[in-house]
């Protein structure tokens, strides 16, 4: 059994717990890391959290849960937005996943097995057979081992057509890729990879990351749970996106941009678990570069009014689009809270309205933007919604980690290894192991005496 794979029942229980308690505005305390990590994945942008000495976690509501609409979720699928932004993004190839493979990813009823490959490229090493009589033992019989292997092969799933096309795409993309599904990448399983990253060189390594991932359970089973107009539980088709791997990327140069009502209201550093002085020093230049990218490549092409997008700034100061995500729901606000971002938007709207009042009678046009039932005036000009604000000296609220003391804990602290590795609560496997070790030390001490 995969003890690090979330089951639908656990997800449902945690989801119902949040919905039940959120109206009270109270803390969710006495949570183990397993339950806490699930809730953070479902409602990551709506909690602050801290680790207690007893390895128990406390989740505190940062505000009401921000819902989204199904349309916003559909538009943020990588296979939907990538064709429009191909020229400014990372080279990506797509594969429709057959339903048997999707069922294989969701199956949590049996032992953890990887698909049988036709290329003999396996992500996990084969078991070595003993060759010395001393190692084989008296009860070793080769024919019994061969019988067991034959029985295992009969139950091992196989997807030869998918494997063949995936391996061909890997060759086209330079023999190294990182995978993701419609919305999510298996970032929580980098620890299990032979190289400790999401870099994959064959189908078997991709299957290993996807099959082991807890994050992808969201895509497979719970993507629409945060939609206020939910009408389905999963998309009709899942896609495997293979993205070209670049080994020299600097994590501190990736930024998340928050767009509300078509206005860029905030930019946050994505890597918030470390302090990078160079990023802090270049903050003004980076803000201008990201803003220009938004104005030139994003605002007029992406159909939604409310969303987030991630960009990476290269060494030669070019911005590359990484991903789109819905506003609110399961999207991380990183160095912001959603309340702060909403406040930034309200201030921008007020500034626009004030400028409109000063420039009455001009030929420029306006548009009413309705957000969650509240209509507000947002300037719509021939060039850009924010160009006039920029000309008045407006700068986007750009946040980076400003010192060593300002770093924040990452979710990898809870999802980087299986649950049993970090659960030290009374009654856990680690707790029992430590008790047994203490008893053994005491016994040895008595023998010495």
Alpha carbon distance 259, 283 (integer Å) = 19
**Cβ 37 vs Cβ 414: under 8 Å:** yes
DSSP secondary structure letter of residue 113: -
Alpha carbon distance 312, 254 (integer Å) = 4
Query: In 3-state terms, what secondary structure has residue 402?
Result: coil
- Going by C-alpha positions, the residue among 267, 256, 277 that lies closest to residue 403 is 277
Tokens of 188: 């929580």
**Buried b vs exposed e over 289-301: b needs ≥16 C-beta within 10 Å?**
bbbebbbebbbee
- 239 C-beta neighbours (distance < 10 Å), count: 17
Backbone angles phi, psi at 307, to 5 degrees: -170, 175
- 186 C-beta neighbours (distance < 10 Å), count: 25
Alpha carbon distance 174, 185 (integer Å) = 19
Query: Which pLDDT belongs to residue 330?
Result: 78
Tokens of 75: 């538009």
Q: CB under 8 Å to 332, separation ≥6 — which residues? A: 44, 45, 256
**Buried b vs exposed e over 349-369: b needs ≥16 C-beta within 10 Å?**
beebeeebeeeeeeeeeeeeb
Tokens of 201: 């060189």
Alpha carbon distance 274, 226 (integer Å) = 30
**Cβ 145 vs Cβ 128: under 8 Å:** no
Query: Which pLDDT belongs to residue 2?
Result: 37
Query: Which pLDDT belongs to residue 226?
Result: 80
Using the structure block, give the residue that is written with the tokens 């091992």. 156
Using the structure block, give the residue that is written with the tokens 């680790």. 51
Q: CB under 8 Å to 179, separation ≥6 — which residues? A: 185, 186, 198, 200, 206, 209, 210, 240, 241, 242, 243
Alpha helices in 312-369 (DSSP H): 338-358
146, containing H or E segment: helix 142-155
Alpha carbon distance 380, 240 (integer Å) = 37
Query: Which pLDDT belongs to residue 343?
Result: 94
What are the distances in angstroms from CA 38 to CA 60, 265, 282, 368?
Answer: 15, 29, 36, 38
Radius of gyration for the alpha carbons in the chain, expressed in angstroms and rounded: 25
Query: In 3-state terms, what secondary structure has residue 147?
Result: helix
**Ramachandran class of 329: left when φ > 0, alpha when ψ lies in -120 to 50, beta otherwise:** left
Sign of CA dihedral 283, 352, 264, 340: positive
Per-residue pLDDT of the chain (449 residues; tens, 9 = 90+): 333 334 444 545 555 555 555 545 445 544 554 455 555 554 544 444 343 333 333 444 444 456 788 999 999 999 999 999 999 999 999 999 999 999 999 887 777 888 988 877 776 655 555 555 555 555 555 555 554 555 556 578 899 999 999 999 999 999 999 999 999 999 888 888 878 889 999 999 999 999 988 888 888 888 888 888 888 888 999 999 999 999 888 999 999 999 999 999 999 999 988 889 999 999 999 999 999 999 999 998 999 999 999 999 999 999 999 999 999 877 889 999 899 999 999 988 888 777 777 666 554 444 444 444 444 444 344 235 567 777 777 789 999 998 876 666 665 554 555 555 555 556 666 666 667 777 777 776 666 65
- 140 C-beta neighbours (distance < 10 Å), count: 12
Q: CB under 8 Å to 335, separation ≥6 — which residues? A: 268, 269, 272, 399, 400, 401, 408
Tokens of 35: 């339950």
**Cβ 88 vs Cβ 297: under 8 Å:** yes
Alpha carbon distance 90, 108 (integer Å) = 33
Write out 166-195 in H/E/C secondary structure.
Answer: HHHHHHHCCCCEEEECCCCCCHHHHHHCCC
Q: Which residues pair with 320 in a beta bridge?
A: 312
Alpha carbon distance 65, 329 (integer Å) = 7
Query: In 3-state terms, what secondary structure has residue 327?
Result: coil
Query: pTM of the full predicted structure?
Result: 0.72
Using the structure block, give the residue that is written with the tokens 């005491």. 442
């Amino acid at each position: 059994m995969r003890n690090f794979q979330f089951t639908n029942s656990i997800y449902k229980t945690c989801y119902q717990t949040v919905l039940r308690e959120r109206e009270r505005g109270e803390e969710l305390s006495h949570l183990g890391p397993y339950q806490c990590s699930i809730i953070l994945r479902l409602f990551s942008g709506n909690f602050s959290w801290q680790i207690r000495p007893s390895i128990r976690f406390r989740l505190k509501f940062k505000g009401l849960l921000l819902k989204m609409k199904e349309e916003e979720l559909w538009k943020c699928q990588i296979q939907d937005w990538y064709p429009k932004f191909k020229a400014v993004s990372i080279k990506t190839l797509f594969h429709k996943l057959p339903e048997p493979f999707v069922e294989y990813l969701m199956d949590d009823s049996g032992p953890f097995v990887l698909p049988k490959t036709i290329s003999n490229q396996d992500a996990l090493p084969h078991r070595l057979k003993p060759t010395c009589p001393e190692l084989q033992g008296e009860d070793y019989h080769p024919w019994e081992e061969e019988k067991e292997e034959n029985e295992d092969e009969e139950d091992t799933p196989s997807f030869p057509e998918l494997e063949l096309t995936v391996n061909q795409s890997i060759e086209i993309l330079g023999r190294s890729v990182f995978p993701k599904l419609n919305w999510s990448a298996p970032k929580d399983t980098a620890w299990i990879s032979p190289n400790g990253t999401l870099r994959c060189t064959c189908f078997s390594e991709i299957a290993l990351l996807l099959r082991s991932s807890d994050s992808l359970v969201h895509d497979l089973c719970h993507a629409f749970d945060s939609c206020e107009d939910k009408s389905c539980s999963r998309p009709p088709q899942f896609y495997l996106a293979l993205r070209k791997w670049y080994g020299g990327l600097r994590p501190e140069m990736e930024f998340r941009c928050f767009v509300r009502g078509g206005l860029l209201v905030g930019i946050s550093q994505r890597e918030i678990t470390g302090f990078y002085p160079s990023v802090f020093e270049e903050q003004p230049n980076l803000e201008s570069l990201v803003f220009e990218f938004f104005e030139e490549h994003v605002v007029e092409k992406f159909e939604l009014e409310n969303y987030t997008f991630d960009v990476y700034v290269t060494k030669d100061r070019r911005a590359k689009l990484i991903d789109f995500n819905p506003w609110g729901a399961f999207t991380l606000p990183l160095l912001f809270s959603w309340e702060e971002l909403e406040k930034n938007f309200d201030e921008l709207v007020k500034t626009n309205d004030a400028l409109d009042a000063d420039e009455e009678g001009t030929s420029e046009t306006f548009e009413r933007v309705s957000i969650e039932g509240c209509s507000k005036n947002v300037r719509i000009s021939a060039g850009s919604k924010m160009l006039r604000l920029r000309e008045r000296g407006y700068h986007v609220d750009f946040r980076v980690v400003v010192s060593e003391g300002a770093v924040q804990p990452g979710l990898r602290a809870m999802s980087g290894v299986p649950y049993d590795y970090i659960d030290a609560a009374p009654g856990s496997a680690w707790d029992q192991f430590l008790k047994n070790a203490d008893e053994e030390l005491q016994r040895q001490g008595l023998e010495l005496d």
